[in-house]
Structures are given as structure tokens and as C-alpha cells.
Amino acid sequence: MSLALTLCLVTVLLLAAFGTPVSFSMIIGAIVYLAVSGQDLALAGEQIIQGFYNSFILLAVPLFIAAANIMNAGSITDRLLQFCVAMVGHFRGGLGHVNIVSSLIFSGMSGSAVADAAGVGRVIINMMTKDGRYPPSYAAAITAASATIGPIIPPSIPMVIYALVSDTSVGYLFIAGLVPGLLMGVVLMGLNAYMATKMDIPKEPRTPMKDIPRITFRALPTLMMPAILLFGIYGGITTPTEAAAVAAAYALILAVAYRSISFKQLYMALKESAYSSASVGLVIGSALIFNYIVATENVPTAIAEMITAADLSPLQFLLIVNLIYLGLGFLLDATTVILVIVPLFVPACRELGIDLVHFGVVTIVNLMIGLITPPYGVLLFVINGTTKIPLAGIIKQVIPFIFVLLAALFIMILFPDLILSMPRLMGYQG
């Protein structure tokens, strides 16, 4: 490791330790690297500009964020929840199942775990805790756990970013997330049924059969969004970025058609989307500079050669990398890991013959689990901030959900066909 790279990393770590945002720490660390190595400091700005200019796919990120915020501002989520209650609300632990199923459906519209937790999650927590049905900490924990499915079922903002750094097809990544997302939903519902029995949660009344067609019809336009997006992408009608624009426009049309969003609410939704997009953009911009440094120092090649020399099997490599991801999940957000750490492993995947679509989905599932892993679990803080439910109670209740999600992740690592079967049906040759 060169002196310049060492000083760069020390700068980043020190600034982060003092509470500086990771994106600013990385930008300052990159400037230190350029200065010490005698390179033009303007390279930092050049890498950011060229990176954004050459990455049309990144436009999908603010568009998906806008779509999620518009849906949360209107009554779209209310219709979705009524449909989920009619379908699974009468089973043991019914409102917990509603929580999970609503996340499965909402994830097909937003691509964001935080949007799921802050939008649908806030409403369903109120439903679960009304009249003391469920302990508030349990309702918050299952909401956080189910929100991790958001970026697995297509569309997915993290998958868009992973496609950028790995040169993998966004379309195949999207379709590859379907089965893993459903698997995560199944294991969460299984645990919820067990916990509801253990806590002796009474069953909810069954929705009358005569009301189900009406409830389904009211929710149908909302349920159609994932189908429209997937048909557009896989029918060759839209690119993933154009599909994101369709998602934002469709969400706005639904909100206006339902007369559920005011101009003030729309303004606030777009304002929040701008803030969130700028925050993600800062992380991406800092990672673009960092990736230039990593490439200049030939770090990915060195790691690939080290792994080759260690004679690791693909399975051993995947297990080691996933342990690293779990460790990083305690400290870093998913976007930073995808942009900075994942590119280090991509050459080794190619060397070992590991499919990059399989690797990408496994990576994102792992990093989503990191969103509910203390101490940095972002979803835990989001739910704590929106509901004021004590964080200590949420952490205690979320631990069993972390274990079942890790079990699902292990199954995905062992059986790549679970992830690759759907892309192969769509013509993927991997």
C-alpha cells in the first residue's frame, strides 16, 4: 500500500470517527490522496462529472425515490393495506402477515426499504398497536424486517447502483430478485405465525367474501404498477431509467385520480425526494473518486490474485465475502458498501466463475439485513424516529427476524438457481 493511499484511508477513518458524513470524509480523503501523489486536484471534480455524465442509469434513482414519496403522500398505501387485510388478515398473526405482504407489494413500486418503513410501515404499526393487539416493539421490529424486502423485489435502487459498478444488466438483476424476495417473505411470515402463537395474539375477523371484489377493485390500479414496470422493461418498451419515470408519473396520476394529494403534499413529497436524491448523489460522487483511486492503486487485481493464490472455492469465497458484508453492515450504509467495497470483489468473482447476477442479489440481500442490524441499523432509527417506540425494545424484538433472514441468505448462497432461474427464463445466459 502506497503512502498516498495510506494517508487517504487514515483521513477517511479519522473524519468518520469524528462524525463527518461518509461522503464528505471520502471526498476529503481523495483530495489528500491526489495532493500526496502529486496529481491534479481537479481530478476529483472531473471524476464526479464524468461518472454522472456517463451513467444514464443513475437517473432512475431520484425517479424511484419520487415515486415512493408520492405514493406515501397519497392514499395509495391505504388501499393497498385494505387489500392485504382482506387476503391474509384472518390468519394467526394476521396483521403481522399484512405487514409483510404489504411490503412485498409496495416493494414492487418504490425500490426503497426506507420508503417502505416510513410510509406503509408507519400506517401498519398504528393498525397493529391499536387496542393493544400487538406490543409496539414487536410491531416496529416486524415492520423493519419486512422493509428489507423493498430493494429485493423489482424495482430496486440498490440494484441500479450495483449494475453501475459491476456492468451487469439492470433488467436481469430486477427479475432475479423476485424469488429471493418471496423467500424472505415466507420465512418472515413463518416466524410471525410462530411468535403470534407464542404471544397468544387473537385472530382478526375474516373479511366478508362479498366485500373482497370491491376491495380488490379499489386496490387494482396500485397492484398494477409492478406489472406495468416489468412489462415495460422486459417487453423492450422502456429502459430501466424510463421505467422509473413511468413509475413516478403513474404514482402521481393515481394520487390525483384518488384526489388524495394536495399541492402542499405534492410539494413536500418532491422536496423530500430532492433531499434524498442529493444525499444519495453525494455518496455516489464520493465513491466515483474513490473508485478512481482504487483502480489507480490496482487494488481489485491484487485482491483477485490473493484469492487465486489462496485457492478458495466459489462457495468459500462467497461465505467469506458475506461475513465481510455483515461486519461492514454494523458501520456503513448499503450504498457506500456497494459503491466502494463491491468493486473490489467483482474481478475475483469473474476469476472464480461466480455469476455476477447471483453475486449482486446475494450482496444486496446481505446489505438489506444490515439495515436492521444494530448499532447502525438505519431502518431501526427510521421507525424509532417516526413512531417514538423505544429503540432498545425494537432491537430486542428484531433479533429473531435477523436470524431467519440470515437463514434465507444462506439458502440463496448455496443454491444459485433460486436466483438465476427467472433470469434464464427471460433469456439470460449466465
| Whole-number Cα distances in Å, 143 to 151, 288, 332, 377 | 15, 33, 21, 13
Torsion 360-366-369-370 (CA) sign? negative
Give a yes or no: residue 18 inside a domain: no
Indicate the pLDDT class of residue 411, thresholds 50, 70 and 90. very high
**Residue 386 and residue 192: Cα distance in Å, rounded?**
23
H/E stretch holding 280: helix 263-296
Indicate the pLDDT class of residue 414, thresholds 50, 70 and 90. very high
User: What's CA 154's distance to the chain center, in Å?
Assistant: 10
Cα atoms found within 13 Å of the Cα of residue 390, Cβ hemisphere only:
5
Task: Quick: pLDDT tens for 270-324.
Answer: 888 888 788 778 878 887 787 788 778 877 777 777 777 777 889 999 999 999 9
Give a yes or no: residue 9 inside a domain: no
pLDDT of residue 78: 73
Phi, psi (deg, nearest 5) at residue 361: -65, -45
* Higher pLDDT, residue 15 or 122: 15
Query: What is the residue-averaged pLDDT of the chain?
Result: 84
| Whole-number Cα distances in Å, 364 to 121, 149, 177, 371 | 21, 10, 10, 11
Task: Quick: pLDDT tens for 337-361.
Answer: 888 889 889 888 988 899 999 999 9
Q: Write out the residue range of the structural domain in which residue 131 sits.
A: 42-425
Query: Is the Cβ–Cβ distance between 81 and 123 less than 8 Å?
Result: yes
Cβ-in-10-Å burial (0-12, 13-18, 19+) of 406 comes to: middle
**Angle between helix 94-110 and 120-129 (nearest 10):** 170
pLDDT of residue 119: 65
Give a yes or no: residue 113 inside a domain: yes
Number of domains in the chain: 1
How much is the average pLDDT of 363-382? 86
Give a yes or no: residue 36 inside a domain: no
Longest dimension (CA), the chain: 75
Task: Quick: pLDDT tens for 69-103.
Answer: 787 766 667 777 788 888 887 788 888 888 898 88
User: What's CA 149's distance to the chain center, in Å?
Assistant: 7
pLDDT of residue 273: 83
**Residue 170 and residue 161: Cα distance in Å, rounded?**
9
pLDDT of residue 25: 85
Give a yes or no: residue 203 inside a domain: yes
Indicate the pLDDT class of residue 207, thresholds 50, 70 and 90. confident
How much is the average pLDDT of 189-194? 93
What is the share, in percent, of the chain residues with pLDDT greater than 90? Answer: 21
Task: Quick: pLDDT tens for 157-173.
Answer: 889 889 988 889 888 99
Cell numbers for 213: 371484489
Phi, psi (deg, nearest 5) at residue 199: -85, 0
What is the share, in percent, of the chain residues with pLDDT greater than 70? Answer: 94
Is the predicted pLDDT of residue 400 greater than 90, yes or no? Answer: yes
Give a yes or no: residue 98 inside a domain: yes
**Residue 53 and residue 284: Cα distance in Å, rounded?**
12
Give a yes or no: residue 16 inside a domain: no
Whole-prediction pTM value? 0.84
Give a yes or no: residue 13 inside a domain: no
Cell numbers for 280: 444519495
pLDDT of residue 40: 79
Which residues contact residue 261 at a Cβ distance below 8 angstroms, ignoring those fewer than 6 apart? 70, 73, 74, 255, 269
Phi, psi (deg, nearest 5) at residue 222: -70, -45
**Residue 169 and residue 231: Cα distance in Å, rounded?**
16
